[in-house]
Structure 1
Amino acid sequence: MGEFDLIARFFKRPPRHAALGIGDDCALLQPAPGTQLAISCDMLVAGRHFFADVSPHKLGHKALAVNLSDLAACGAKPLAFTLALALPEANEPWLAAFAQGLFELADAHDCELIGGDTTAGPLNICITVFGEVPVVQGRSLALLRSGARAGDDLYVSGTLGDARLALDAQQGKLSVPAPVLRAARERLERPTPRVALGLALRGVASAAIDLSDGFMGDLGHILECSRVGASVQVDRLVQCIGCYAEAAPAEHPLGIDLSVEQWRTLALAGGDDYELLFTAPAGQRAAVARAAQTSRTPVHRIGRIDAIAGLRLLDAQGRALEPHDASFDHFA
């Protein structure tokens, strides 16, 4: 099977949104009147971003999900994406499962594949995604990292820490029961892009970012871009860990016997959560609750934005905690 046969068999579809899709040197997109294009790109590399035994179906899902998460953080409606794929070999069952996982998520968000590239080489998946953001009276409704203001509430969506738990368990750093590992690994390998929440937060949130490298580092980007500080109630954040609510009661019924510091590490320095971290004025709490309800996404208020620069970590009694590990950095 040659390169162009591979593309035609597994990835070519009739264009829906694009003026011109796969088949020419370039695809053509026509943004709707009164919108801006939001564009993001993410790469998944074998041995760096996923385990060798990950199912191709889940890998197809995650490859697109991490990009849709960027659109969610910008409040952008998904439109289209390109796929650059390096493959060690043209394995037809692998390609069929990968394409199925990819297109199931793409169809769920009405986001079409419009082009890309294939080559032989170590497994590497690079997706560029395009979305639309309304422009109203000359003002973009995009959510940015730079809009947080002193007095704003600080929120996270969904659950944190499960992906880090799966990674640590796979690497032998933690011991957890098999059912817990399966559930945590599902969160690692099939993240849920919070697109509906991002759309619902337009005009409500003041700043947003998706949690890809870990809470500490990603919050740091908002604080730096907005030139503000923050106070975070760490133990409230710990309660957002997916497995914590069941594991925390006495006797640890799930068999997860972690120290307080280990729970805090999962919440603060995890990664691959792909939840939204966002800020909103205190007066928008009802609107945030409506956005959570309409998007069917739980949100948790876990701190506030301060005028004084820096990040302050507080325990359940409001006492200051020591600085914590930084988030993931490929080149640190």
Structure 2
Amino acid sequence: MDNQPRSEFDLIGRFFADLGAHRADVLLGVGDDCALLEVPVGLSLAVSIDTLVAGIHFFHDCDAEAVGHKSLAVGLSDLAAMGASPAWATLALTLPERNDDWLAAFARGFGDLARTYGVRLVGGDTTRGPLSVTVQVHGLVRPAAAVRRDGARPGDLVWVSGTLGDAGLALRHLREGDPVDPALRARLERPDPRVALGSALRGIATAMIDLSDGLAGDLGHILAASGVGAEIDLAAVPLSSAVASRIASEGDWSLPLSSGDDYELCFCAPPEQASLIGSLGNTLSCALSVVGRIRPEPGLVARMPSGESITLTNAGYDHFSDNT
């Protein structure tokens, strides 16, 4: 950050120098050329990075505290999908101009979630330009315990947490200029990463992914990595009353299948683990639903509530697709 205006360092010192949980493994955090972090012996570092761009991932007038929350939550969801325990984060923030009120709210949203999950902000960068936020998260996990995408086996049950399609429905309402239920909007702008569930599923789930791009596309990543296929029962997909009502009136299943931004977990596990998984859901107060089964034949088939089966080809949201 050499030769940058003095105000950049003032900004960092005021809003980001002491953000998140205090951790003994942070030997040196924000304020130097690099952070110095201590990785415990026997653990691997799980790393993920996401960029949120104004007008693409959030509306330009979105509440700054919600932007701060979501910018960290999406990365924590990735760590949850690997079964990793969150530890550190870095932040690259591009701003069209300095706005201290916006920055204070952003830092509050980011910091509150960071403290909830024991995360320390250890470095980053600030620049001037179109509003965008890039967060890299770092988690810790024993190598043998990490839950990858490539472990699904024929006969495994396919599970999802929570309800699907709520964030997509909130986005539709906002784009259409309709009133949005606050609870529905919170699913879009303040997702709750399933960190505790991801950790609890270590040694139980054979494969796992977070649902950022829709059930069809994200489950498809598990199937491709594992070399298997799956059949899902749409009648078993957990839906809020608002999403269920929209599907009933339009017959359009794209909300839970491809709208994205749910940040729930989709995972596979042998049938004999079903009782244990059910008890985990009760312990964590997290609804867990079986929505299908892994099969040896490639491809993803959906069984409609009518009993008709269709092959799903929607790959979920793609930034570079001509159809998005």
- TM-score of the alignment, normalized to the shorter chain, above 0.5: yes
Q: Following superposition, which runs of at least 4 residues in structure 1 exceed 4 angstroms of deviation? A: none
Which deviates further from its counterpart, 265-274 or 59-68?
265-274
CA distance in 1, matches of 2:76, 2:199: 12
CA distance in 2, matches of 1:322, 1:23: 53
Helix, strand or coil at the partner of 1:72: helix
Counterpart amino acid of residue 300 in structure 1: S
Instruction: Report Cα offsets for 1:43-80 as digits up to 9, x if no partner.
Output: 00011100112100011000000000000000000000
CA distance in 2, matches of 1:320, 1:219: 17
CA distance in 2, matches of 1:242, 1:113: 34
Aligned to 1:6: 11
CA distance in 2, matches of 1:267, 1:261: 12
How does 1:1-332 map onto structure 2 within 5 Å? Answer: 2-13=7-18, 16=23, 17-135=25-143, 140-172=144-176, 178=179, 180=181, 182-237=182-237, 240-244=238-242, 248=245, 258-259=248-249, 261-262=251-252, 264-316=253-305, 318-321=307-310, 323=312, 325-332=314-321
Cα separation, partners in 2 of 1:241 and 1:29, compared to 1, 3 Å: same
Residues 300 and 311 of structure 2 are in contact (CA less than 8 Å); yes or no, is this contact kept in structure 1? no
Q: TM-score, normalising length from structure 2?
A: 0.92
Quote the RMSD (CA, aligned, Å). Answer: 1.8
Cα separation, partners in 2 of 1:179 and 1:244, compared to 1, 3 Å: closer
CA distance in 2, matches of 1:117, 1:10: 12
What is the total number of aligned residue pairs between the two structures? 313
Residues 74 and 209 of structure 1 are in contact (CA less than 8 Å); yes or no, is this contact kept in structure 2? yes
- State the identity as a percent: 49
Displacement of 1:270: 1.5
Instruction: Report Cα offsets for 1:298-317 as digits up to 9, x if no partner.
Output: 11100000011111110235
CA distance in 2, matches of 1:199, 1:160: 21
Q: TM-score, normalising length from structure 1?
A: 0.90
Structure 2 residue runs of 5 or longer lacking an equivalent are 1-5
Residues 173 and 180 of structure 2 are in contact (CA less than 8 Å); yes or no, is this contact kept in structure 1? no
Residues 233 and 318 of structure 1 are in contact (CA less than 8 Å); yes or no, is this contact kept in structure 2? no
Structure 1 residue runs of 5 or longer lacking an equivalent are 249-255
Residues 162 and 243 of structure 1 are in contact (CA less than 8 Å); yes or no, is this contact kept in structure 2? no
Counterpart amino acid of residue 150 in structure 1: P
Instruction: Report Cα offsets for 1:272-298 as digits up to 9, x if no partner.
Output: 000001000111112211322232211
CA distance in 1, matches of 2:313, 2:166: 18
